[in-house]
């Protein structure tokens, strides 16, 4: 008597036959003259065969697969049609080709069952628990579609915890695409993935392959050194002897001078590692070129630098007024990178940098809360895990704690990993309030106030003090101050120092070479001035230096480039091709910098300079068309909006410092005979 399951199966088979009888063939689009092509459903035959498979011999099954003691009945033709392994076996005349029971010992029963179901249903469920089992079975049986599906799943599951094991699997099964993706993932996230347990178990050849590759992305070469030590310490007895060979693959020029020699690492001492001595300096004869040997040595040293660790001088710019653009510019490679725009149009935003975090204070012009708003952008966020190599990171502004009593037209400065906002204009007039922001606590606190309330002041920091320079006593332009105050953070107190020689508000201030520079500004008559002064804290004196070629108020954009005080000029201050001027401290002259700016609008940005490793820059969004980036400052549809002409004759898109032609430029001499080199 037939069992219930057999009866049920016969009913299902009968149903399939009924569906097959009721199927209507569909006319195909492909026509042959005199003939018509009709097409039926692809799944009917397979569904019927799958139902017959359950009946065993009664369902026309002609072979039994014995998989580790478990049996699976199937059709020989189905196996041959889906697997090159079975096709070759059955057609080779081998004894297995005619056996009723075929033993399989190289695959698991679970994997074979799933693959056999796939042969009949064209569906297979793959998850992280069975993917490796199925990958092995499909590779052995030469079921390429299932193998590729397993590889695709592993590719999507690639993480910092399993990247090394997935690389090993990819190489084992000849999955070249997956292997390349795993290698690229490891290179891009090298600093992160080496911290996981898998790293310590990789083979020596794989370790050498990575640390000798210039494409691995690390901020400092010390990270590569530490990962080598970690790998050796995992099996110190067997790996310590190869430590000297591993260290040869470090980029010595990227390590601090004398790093290995001064290291107290026991492994280095135990291995008696002798570092290669630094090359002797080749004496340069007078009026002769460097010897070929010296040039070759320089080339070798440059080749020893790992690209991602190279430090670049970078200009950071954040828009003012109605401009909400933000950018970074790499002076070395002459590349422009865009950063996230401001959430609303800026107003009197002030820019300062703590570590590698940009802080923008009071960047919104609508309402009191907007004036007090604080936003931050951390450039180190680019170093986070990158799941897709090559995809750039779009940095974002994040809202921080608002200030308590922020006034507009104050001064913002970073000092000892803290932010200070000083003075400003409030509804009641100028204030002397000073607030301090702690980035770690995300809190503002009040410090000792200024002795003279002021706004529109210049601000600069030295190694130990904050200086507030000039400014005004009201919002009116002709109220310039000549007083200068110094803040001592240890005593939380302000004191007066020597006054400016000329009263000025909105001066551009910068500290360089142990001196404070006060550049341009608005004088006591309310007009822009060309005068400049320099202050020596050691002797507490101000002295006049050469005047600017044009009256200018560079309150937020005096920068140091190539060891020179540099002032990008705003479009309305330039009447020739000069977009910026730099101060020659040796000759006490201002010189034009030809082809300085990537746009003539850069003088209207808040500017800061910072040193960044190539690791960060190569993950930022590069702007290939600077003209498009700077072309449109506003998104408003108002007819009164003013747009700057991107075809201005003063525009340039190539930064060129210390060009030969600079020596032919005009110079503006100082009226005084003071020799600043001696104070």
535-555 confidence digits (pLDDT tens): 999 999 999 999 998 888 877
Residue 521 · residue 555 · CB < 8 Å: yes
Tell me which residue of 33, 31, 86 sits closest to 62, measured CA to CA: 86
120-131: burial string, b at 16+ Cβ within 10 Å, e else: beeebebeeebb
Classified by CATH at the fold level, domain 187-272 comes out as 1.25.40
CATH top-level class of 16-157: alpha beta
| pLDDT tens readout for residues 602-648 | 777 888 999 999 999 999 988 887 777 776 544 333 333 222 222 33
* Per-residue confidence (pLDDT) for residue 408, from 0 to 100: 80
Residues of the chain with pLDDT below 70 are 1-21, 23-25, 27-28, 30-32, 34-44, 56-59, 271-303, 343-348, 363-371, 387-390, 406, 477-478, 570-579, 594-601, 631-679
454-488: burial string, b at 16+ Cβ within 10 Å, e else: bbbbbbbbeeebbbbbbbbbeeebebbbbbbbbbe
Residue 350 · residue 606 · CB < 8 Å: yes
What residues contact 536, with CB distance under 8 A and at least 6 apart? 514, 515, 543, 679
Tell me which residue of 353, 464, 460, 472 sits closest to 407, measured CA to CA: 472
Radius of gyration over every alpha carbon of the chain, rounded to an integer in angstroms: 36
* Per-residue confidence (pLDDT) for residue 615, from 0 to 100: 93
Give me the numbers of helices (H) and strands (E) for the chain, helices first please.
20, 33
What are the C-alpha distances in Å from 218 to residues 183, 204, 265, 390, 608? Answer: 15, 20, 21, 15, 25
Q: Enter the DSSP assignment of 653.
A: S
What is the C-alpha separation between 251 and 6, in angstroms, rounded? Answer: 72
SS3 of residue 73 by DSSP: strand
φ, ψ dihedrals at 614, nearest 5°: -60, -25
Which residues of the chain are in CATH 1.25.40.420 domains? 187-272
Strand partners, 658: none
Q: Residue 298 is encoded by which pair of tokens?
A: 């320089």
Q: What is the pTM of this model?
A: 0.76
Q: Enter the DSSP assignment of 498.
A: P
* Per-residue confidence (pLDDT) for residue 289, from 0 to 100: 52
**What length is written for the chain?**
679
Which residues of the chain are in CATH 3.30.710.10 domains? 16-157
* Per-residue confidence (pLDDT) for residue 46, from 0 to 100: 77
């Amino acid at each position: 008597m037939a069992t219930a399951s057999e009866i049920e199966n016969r009913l299902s088979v009968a149903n399939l036959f009924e569906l097959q009888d009721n199927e209507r063939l569909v006319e195909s689009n492909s026509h042959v003259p005199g003939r018509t092509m009709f097409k039926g459903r692809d799944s009917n035959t397979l569904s019927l065969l799958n139902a017959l498979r359950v009946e065993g011999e009664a369902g026309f099954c002609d072979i039994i697969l014995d998989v580790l003691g478990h049996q699976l009945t199937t059709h020989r033709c189905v196996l041959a049609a889906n697997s090159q392994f079975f096709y070759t076996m059955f057609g080779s005349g081998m004894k297995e080709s005619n056996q009723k029971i075929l033993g399989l010992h190289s695959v698991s029963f679970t994997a074979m069952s799933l693959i056999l179901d796939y042969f009949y249903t064209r569906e297979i469920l793959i998850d992280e628990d069975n993917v490796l089992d199925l990958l092995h079975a499909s590779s052995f049986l030469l079921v390429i579609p299932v193998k590729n599906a397993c590889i695709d799943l592993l590719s999507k599951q690639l993480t910092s915890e399993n990247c090394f094991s997935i690389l090993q699997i990819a190489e084992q099964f000849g999955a070249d695409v997956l292997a390349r993706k795993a290698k690229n993932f490891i290179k891009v996230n090298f600093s992160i993935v080496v911290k996981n347990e898998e790293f310590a178990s990789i083979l020596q050849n794989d370790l050498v392959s990575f640390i000798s590759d210039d494409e691995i992305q690390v901020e400092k070469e010390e990270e590569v050194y530490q990962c080598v030590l970690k790998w050796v310490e995992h099996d110190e007895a067997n790996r310590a002897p190869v430590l000297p060979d591993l260290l040869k693959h470090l980029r010595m020029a990227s390590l601090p001078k004398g790093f290995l020699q001064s290291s107290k690492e026991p492994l280095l001492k135990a291995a008696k590692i002798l570092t290669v001595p630094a090359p002797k300096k080749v004496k340069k004869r007078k009026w002769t070129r460097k010897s070929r040997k010296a040039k070759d040595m320089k080339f070798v040293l440059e080749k020893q630098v790992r690209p991602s660790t190279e430090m670049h001088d970078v200009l950071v710019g954040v828009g003012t007024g109605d401009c909400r653009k933000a950018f970074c510019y790499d002076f070395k490679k002459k590349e422009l990178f865009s950063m996230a725009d401001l959430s609303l149009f800026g107003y009197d935003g002030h820019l300062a940098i703590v570590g590698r975090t940009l802080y923008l204070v009071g960047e919104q012009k609508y309402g009191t809360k907007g004036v007090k708003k604080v936003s931050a952008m951390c450039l180190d966020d680019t170093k986070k895990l990158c799941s897709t190599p090559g995809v750039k990171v779009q940095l974002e502004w994040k809202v921080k704690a608002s200030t308590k009593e922020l006034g507009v037209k104050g001064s913002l400065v970073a000092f000892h990993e803290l932010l200070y906002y000083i003075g400003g204009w409030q509804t009641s007039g100028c204030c002397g309030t000073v607030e301090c922001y702690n980035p770690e606590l995300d809190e503002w606190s009040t410090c000792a106030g200024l002795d003279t309330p002021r706004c529109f002041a210049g601000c600069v920091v030295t190694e130990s003090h904050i200086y507030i320079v000039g400014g005004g006593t009201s919002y009116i332009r002709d109220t310039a101050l000549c007083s200068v105050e110094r803040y001592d953070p240890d005593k939380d107190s302000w004191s007066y120092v020597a006054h400016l020689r000329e009263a000025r508000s909105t001066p551009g201030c910068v500290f360089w070479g142990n001196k404070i520079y006060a550049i341009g500004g608005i004088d006591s008559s309310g007009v822009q001035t060309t005068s400049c002064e320099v202050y020596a804290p050691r002797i507490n004196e101000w002295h006049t230096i050469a005047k600017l070629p044009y009256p200018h108020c560079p309150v937020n954009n005096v920068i140091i480039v190539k060891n020179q005080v540099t002032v990008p000029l705003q479009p309305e201050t330039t009447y020739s091709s000069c977009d910026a001027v730099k101060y020659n401290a040796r000759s006490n002259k201002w010189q034009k910098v030809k082809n300085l700016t990537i746009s003539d609008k850069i003088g209207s940005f808040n500017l800061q300079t910072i040193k960044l490793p190539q690791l960060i820059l190569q993950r930022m969004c590069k702007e290939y068309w600077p003209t498009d980036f700077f072309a449109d400052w506003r998104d408003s549809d108002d007819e009164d909006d003013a747009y700057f002409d991107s075809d201005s004759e003063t525009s340039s898109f190539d930064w060129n410092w210390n060009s030969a032609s600079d020596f032919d430029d005009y110079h503006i001499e100082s009226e005084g005979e003071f020799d600043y080199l001696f104070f």
